[in-house]
Copies of this chain bind each other. A is one copy, B any other.
Amino acid sequence: MILSALLTSVGINLGLCLLFFTLYSILRKQPGNVGVYAPRLVAQGQSQASAEFNLERLLPTAGWVRTAWQPSEEHLLSTLGLDAVVVVRIFIFSLKVFTFAGIVGVFVLIPVNFLGNQLSEDFSDLPNKSLDSFSISNVNVGSNRLWIHFCAAYVFTGVVCYFLYCESLYISSKRIAYFYSCKPQAHQFTVLVRGIPVSPESSCGETVERFFTEYHPSTYLSHTVLRRTSKVQGLISDAEKIRKRLAHLKLSTQSEQRFRRDGFLGIFGRKVDIIDHYERKLGDLEDNLRMEQSSLGKQEVPAAFVSFKSRLGAAIALHIPQGVNPTEWVAERAPEPQDVHWPFFSSSFIKIWIFKLVVVVACVSLTILFLIPVLIVQGLTNLEQLETWFPFLESILKLNVVSQVITGYLPSLILHLFLSLVPPIMIFFSSMQGYMSFSQIEKSACTKVLWFTIWNIFFANVLSGSALYQVNIFLEPKKIPKVLAEAVPSQAAFFIAYVVTSVPRIVFFGLLGVTYFFLAPLILPFLIIYYCMGYIIYRNQLLNVYSSKYETGGKFWPIVHNSMIFSLILMHVIAIGIFGLKKLPLASSLIIPLPILTLLFDQYIRRRFLPIFKAYPVECLVNKDRADENDPAMAEFFDKLVSAYRDPALDPLQYSRNTDGQNAPLLGAAEV
């Protein structure tokens, strides 16, 4: 790709960006749209939209940027929780890293690269210069200038590690502080126990009661046995649909619509009142539902939420193996009550295990199948290949604008379309894995999507671009640095375009930035712009739009850490290969300590900080428990705790059959 193609791409995006910015700043000010642009505030009753018209409403303004910028971290923490703060911190961290990288890249590396003449192009014609002349490919083979790149790799790695350390320290201390400051919550006192060994002569509930009063006499509070409610949930959602339809019918006043013939296709037979018909149907369903609910007592699953009188009590049940058979009485952290994913609940050790295997196989298959769209996209960036495949396009592709749009914009657009299908599929996979909560499902899906993206977008593009179907090289690890060193720089142009045209992918962009930092520093300014915009937009979204369903306490930070370390190691492997290709074997060998040092740093961080993201220590638990002892509100909290983990499908029907309005309280399960 040449520079002018990139500029076309930047231009298109800049235009679109301005358009959306203007539209957004106008539309958000219309009172009717407040439910779309600030649903969070509406839900909390904080929206103060005035209905009166003024001209300012039609002018694009940047006031929302100021509003999003202003709130302090303490304000975010108190109103939005720790997760929101950690998201913002990820942007700050990325900005720090890439500002440093950008300064080094733009003011040191790009000039060095540009002064090389390996690609021996005409210096004068800047717009038609290939982007590769700004990359390391342009530095002469054997040139001592490559030692600048060598130093940059060392310094950059050091700086990233330093920022990672600071950020881990900051976030982990915030996490502890947040734990101390928040109110007692049901999930802190509760564990989910699976694999309860039920004997034929006693019920599951009795077994749980007996076991925990026997072995946790001083801390055991209560338990809720889980039941198979998928049938009841089906009935509830059926009833819900009919209820909505009924409400809709009652609102429509045309009487001829109320009647329908009851025979074949509604054409023959006698006329019946449809409202009557549906009401009878609803009545039947509800009777059915009540019968099912009453028989649920027998359909126990050998799993239960067990609550304790203290956080330490729950931690003891969680951390120490309970029963003699390690596959029985398996305790795991309970999710928040509103976060429980009721329908897909499976309890057996073997079942969960088999499902996990199935999911692994499915993920691998999806990854392989996804190579097909990737290959098509790759075809688009190689125009010659496209002309060979579709000869009739030749004349169109000769047009300058068309070829620039196709090579600069279309490939990543198509990729985005296909990629947008991946997250829902991954969420489906994760929900099959036996996770008990939406947060776990989403976290697991996030990790899957991240690795899928890294593999499919990065590796598949890199490898198919340079030498189609080189997957074989992963069976010959010795050659990996060489192959990557040949392939990765040649795809720099594609990834610069990808960043320019992309929807946000916070963590994956980090990978791109780190990997291409010393190969093609031209990517860095775009990354910085992206992170700046992302910072403002996410703050706006967090403050006005997103309403978090659960709070993990920043548990997803380790994902960022892992991906950053992976990126650094990948950069080092590529560096080893690059210096080899550029006939600087000494630099190639001297890079080797760098990944080793990075892995040691990673190990240190893993031991020093990551345990805090997994479990709270005794010190915190005891302090918090003790602070609660003097709190008179705790008695009420424990009363609520006993019934906090009740399956909503077991609740008696909550809506009255005569409610007509759309805003009647729905059932809990329907809300989920």
Q: Say how far A612's CB is from chain B's closest CB, in angstroms.
A: 6
Band of interface residues on A = 35 or more
Judging by beta carbons under 8 Å apart, are B319 and A617 in contact?
no
- Which residues of B are found within 8 Å of A611, using beta-carbon distances? 321, 326
Mask, A475-502, CB within 8 Å of B = 1, is 1111000000000000000000000000
Does the CB pair B477–A608 fall under 8 Å? no
A327's contact among B326, B329, B608, B622, by CB below 8 Å, is which?
B608
A275 touches B (CB below 8 Å): no
* Residues in B neighbouring A176, C-beta threshold 8 A: 324
- A87 touches B (CB below 8 Å): no
CA of A618 to CA of B475, assembled, Å: 46
Known A215-B622, A475-B478, A477-B475; judge A327-B617 contact (CB<8 A).
Answer: no
Over the window 341-385 of chain A, the binary record of Cβ atoms lying under 8 Å from chain B Cβ atoms (1 yes, 0 no) is 000000001000100010000000000000000000000000000
**Shortest beta-carbon distance, A92 to chain B, in Å?**
23
B321 touches A608 (CB 8 A): no
Do B320 and A620 touch (CB < 8 A)? no
A607 touches B320 (CB 8 A): no
CB-based nearest B residue for A609: B326
Q: How far is the CB of A452 from chain B (nearest CB, A)?
A: 23
Give a binary string over A43-54; 1 marks a CB under 8 Å from any B CB, 0 the rest: 000000000000
Taking a contact as CB atoms closer than 8 A, the residue among B349, B353, B600, B618 that contacts A320 in the complex is: B618
A615 within 8 A of B: yes
Q: Among the interface residues A323, A619, A621, which one has the most CB atoms of the partner chain B within 10 A? A: A619
Which A504-558 residues sit within 8 Å CB-CB of chain B? none
> Quick check: is A427 within 8 A (CB to CB) of the other chain?
no
Question: Which residues of the partner chain B approach A476 to less than 8 Å between Cβ atoms?
Answer: 475-478
Q: Shortest Cβ distance from A608 into chain B, in angstroms? A: 5
Q: Which of B316, B325, B600 contacts A316 (CB 8 A)?
A: B316
Asked whether A315 is an interface residue with its Cβ less than 8 Å from the other chain, the reply is: yes
Interchain CB contact under 8 A, A315 and B320:
yes
Do B618 and A322 touch (CB < 8 A)?
yes
> Using Cβ atoms and an 8 Å threshold, which residues of chain B touch A323?
617-619
CA A353 to CA B600, docked complex, whole Å: 10
| CB of A256 within 8 Å of the partner chain | no
Interface residue? A214 (CB, 8 A):
yes
Q: Contacts A323-B619, A324-B176 hold; do A607 and B475 have CB atoms under 8 A apart?
A: no
CB distance from A470 to the nearest CB of B (A): 14
Say yes or no: A324-B620 contact (C-beta < 8 A), given A316-B316, A349-B607: yes
- Pairwise interchain contact A326-B612, C-beta atoms closer than 8 A: yes
Query: Inside 8 A of A622's CB, which chain B residues have their CB?
Result: 214-215
CA distance A319 to B315 in the complex (A): 10
- State the CA gap A670–B615 with chains docked (Å): 43
Residues of chain B within 8 A of A317, CB atoms compared: 618
Chain B residue, CB-CB nearest to A480: B475
A600 contact set on B, CB distance < 8 A: 357
Please state if A320 and B321 are interface contacts (CB–CB under 8 Å): no
From 600 to 653 in chain A, residues with beta carbon under 8 angstroms from any chain B beta carbon are 600, 603-604, 607-612, 615-622
Query: Do the beta carbons of B215 and A619 come within 8 Å of each other?
Result: yes
Our pick among B319, B320, B612 for the contact of A324 (Cβ within 8 Å) is: B612
- A619: which B residues are within 8 A, CB to CB? 215, 322-324, 329
Which residues of A, 303-340, contact B by the 8 Å Cβ criterion?
315-317, 319-327, 329
The residue on B at minimum CB distance from A211 is: B619
Are B615 and A320 in contact, with the CB atoms below 8 A? yes
Shortest beta-carbon distance, A311 to chain B, in Å?
A: 11
Q: Which residues of B contact A216 (CB under 8 A)?
A: 618
Inter-chain CA distance A320–B620, complex, in Å, is: 11
CB atoms of A215 and B618 under 8 A apart: yes
A608–B353 alpha-carbon span in the complex (Å): 12
CB distance from A611 to the nearest CB of B (A): 4
Across the two chains, which residue of chain B brings its CB closest to A214? B622
Residue of B with least CB distance to A596: B357
**Please, which residues of chain B bring their CB within 8 A of the CB of A327?**
607-608
CB pair B319–A320 under 8 Å, yes or no, is yes
456-490 of chain A: CB within 8 A of chain B = 475-478
Residue of B nearest to A612 (CB): B326
Contacts of A603 in B (CB 8 A): 353
Contacts of A478 in B (CB 8 A): 475-476
List CB contacts (< 8 Å) of A563-612 with chain B. 600, 603-604, 607-612
Given known A-B contacts A326-B607, A607-B327, A618-B215, A316 and B321 have beta carbons under 8 A apart = no
A623, closest chain B residue (CB) = B215
B324:A608 contact, CB within 8 angstroms: no
Measured CB to CB, the closest approach of chain B to A169, in angstroms, equals: 10
A603 to B357, CA, bound (A): 12
Most buried by B among A319, A357, A604: A319
With a 10 A CB-CB cut-off, give which of A324, A327, A600, A608 has the most chain B CB atoms. A324
A205 to chain B, nearest CB (A): 19
Q: How far is the CB of A64 from the nearest CB of chain B, in Å?
A: 39
List of B residues within 8 angstroms of A321 by Cβ = 611, 615-618
List which A16-33 residues lie within 8 A (CB) of chain B: none
- A215-B619, A215-B622, A475-B478 known; A320 vs B326 contact (CB < 8 Å): no
Minimum Cβ distance to chain B for residue A325 (Å): 7
Q: When chains A and B are docked, how far (Å) is the Cα of A353 from the Cα of B616?
A: 24
A321 — nearest CB in chain B belongs to which residue?
Answer: B617
21 CB contacts below 8 A, A to B, read A176-B324, A215-B618, A215-B622, A316-B618, A319-B319, A320-B618, A320-B621, A321-B616, A322-B617, A322-B618, A325-B608, A326-B609, A326-B611, A326-B617, A353-B603, A357-B600, A475-B477, A475-B478, A476-B476, A476-B478, A477-B477
Q: Please name 16 further chain A to chain B contacts, defined as beta carbons within 8 Å, in addition to the given A320-B617, A320-B618, A321-B615, sorted by A numbering.
A: A214-B622, A215-B619, A215-B622, A317-B618, A322-B617, A324-B617, A324-B619, A325-B608, A326-B607, A326-B608, A326-B611, A326-B617, A353-B604, A475-B476, A475-B478, A477-B477
Q: What 8 pairs across the A-B complex have the smallest Cβ distances? A: A326-B611, A475-B478, A321-B617, A319-B319, A215-B622, A476-B476, A319-B320, A322-B618
